Structure 1
Amino acid sequence: MPIDKVEETTKTVERVELSTQKALLLLYFSCRLRFLMQNTTLGCPGIYSVGGEVEAFK
């Protein structure tokens, strides 16, 4: 496999990983916002209210 092809593939993989992280982050924050509005942990596995966390969303 030519070296430039390997670099191209590596860049594509990095791009995919980055967009996956962004999607997960977006999912997490939309979940957090819903959680704050409803004041419930339902639908947000593993995410719980901790004192002062609401401050971060102001």
Structure 2
Amino acid sequence: TSRAGVGGASEERQAMKAHVSIILPVHNAEPWLDECLRSVLQQDFEGQVWGYH
């Protein structure tokens, strides 16, 4: 018996739900941090943003 497509579609859906972490190691960067975060949020990522503090 063939199992074609059984895992493929599920794996594709999981890939579409990939999580992305953005780490900004900064030191004395307060003057540019707001601009940096706005730039990150303006990207065309179509997932959900979970934490913006």
* TM-score bin (small chain): 0.3 to 0.5
Higher share in helix: 1
Q: Which has the higher contact order (CA 8 A, sep 6+)?
A: 2
